[in-house]
Amino acid sequence: MKRFFIVFSILIASMGCTKQTIIDTGICSPYHDCSIMDYLRKDDYLWGYTVKMIEYAGLTDLFEGKVDTLPEITFLGIPSMSVERLVYEYEVDSVSDLSRNKCRRILLQHVAKGKILKDDVNFRNMDYYINDSQQDGGTDVTMLYGNVVRFYRERSEYQGVPDAGPVTLNFWSLDEDHRIPISSADIQPLNGVVHALNYNYILE
């Protein structure tokens, strides 16, 4: 009888473990009622070193929307981990031990004038590589430093059906000839848009 009770209890417990509890967390909004700078300051884990770099480079006003000629900007959001990796590679203790001009250059290489959302960008011509001279798709954007980044959208397949999957936004540095990995697009504070880059992005 005791053995039967134990087996029965285990059976009931295992049946209980199969029940899935769904928690409705709501819809994630891309809109933020603050400046880009304040948005970055809200998450020290994701953007802590990025904020330090912006402040050290003297570009806080740009990211706060206080530059009259640049009321809105597009920021290819350099993640904190990428900046931290740069600090480590230069064998210094903090962002403020790096060259201020280098920090300023890096940031301006990732900022464009105006608000460029994913839907504003042209699809790439799939007949050519994205860096091919015959590539007539995508949207070439000159960043504030003068470097050119090709923004482009791609359609993906879904269960073997071409162009049935999600549309993604991608970036290619035409100056450095390499892909710039993106993690999340169209984050929209009040003075522009942030396209968050992947944490494995390497700064040079």
Neighbouring-strand partners of residue 187: 194
Q: What is the CATH number of the domain that holds 189?
A: 2.30.180.10
Q: Which of 42, 59, 54, 99 is nearest to 78 (CA)?
A: 54
**The pLDDT of residue 162:** 65
In a domain, 112, yes or no: yes
Q: Strand (E) positions, 36-138?
A: 73-77, 111-113
Full residue range of the structural domain in which residue 172 is found: 30-197
DSSP state of 99: -
Residue 69 belongs to a domain: yes
For residue range 1-59, list pLDDT tens digits in order: 444 444 444 444 444 443 433 333 345 689 999 999 999 999 999 999 999 999 999 99
> pLDDT-derived band of residue 161, with 50, 70 and 90 as boundaries?
confident
Provide mean pLDDT across the span 140-149: 98
Q: What integer pLDDT is reported at residue 20 of this predicted model?
A: 36
Residues 6+ apart with CB under 8 A from 158: 164, 165, 166
**Is residue 8 in some structural domain?**
no
Lowest mean pLDDT among 34-38, 84-88, 161-165, 192-196: 161-165
Q: What is the pLDDT of residues 84-131, one digit of tens each?
A: 999 999 999 999 999 999 999 999 999 999 999 999 999 999 999 999
163 in Cβ contact with 172 (< 8 Å):
no
